[in-house]
Amino acid sequence: MHPGGPFFAKKDAGAWTIPKGEFTDEELALAAAQREFLEETGFPPRGPFAPLDTIKQSGGKLVHAWACEGDLDAEKVSSNTFSIEWPPKSGKQREFPEVDRAAWFTLEAAAEKMNPAQTAFLDRLRDLLDGTSPPF
């Protein structure tokens, strides 16, 4: 998913990300991932789910990820929105989609497009697909 909003509008390589968000101690990480996926794509993910472990991004955020099989039409992704003051110090609030576009990539192309910290998920996914780690 490509992040929406003005900060990522002209960024491509290294900007794409998996759907992610915050969750509380009362919510299971997988349930939060399913909720965030639905909010950011408009599609409910269907299991079974295979864990892809956890990574720590450069800003310190922990990101948990799962893989599942599916057939999502990237052209039909519909995201929730967020509001920010834009332009800065203008006093005007503007609303932007959290995700402005989606696309399918090979694992190699995805590694170039994704946030560098999240490429570890691609390695784990490759292991799952190659059969060198436990299946779904």
Dump pLDDT digits (tens) for 12-32.
999 999 999 889 999 999 999
* Residue 135 pLDDT exceeds 90: no
User: Is 136 inside a domain boundary?
Assistant: no
* pLDDT score recorded for residue 9: 94
Contact of 86 with 6, CB cutoff 8 Å: yes
User: Is 135 inside a domain boundary?
Assistant: no
Query: pLDDT tens, 93-128?
Result: 999 999 999 999 999 999 999 999 999 999 999 999
Domain range spanning residue 55? 2-68+79-130
Both tokens of 97, joined, read 């989609």
* Residue 79 pLDDT exceeds 90: yes
Number of domains in the chain: 1
* pLDDT score recorded for residue 131: 85
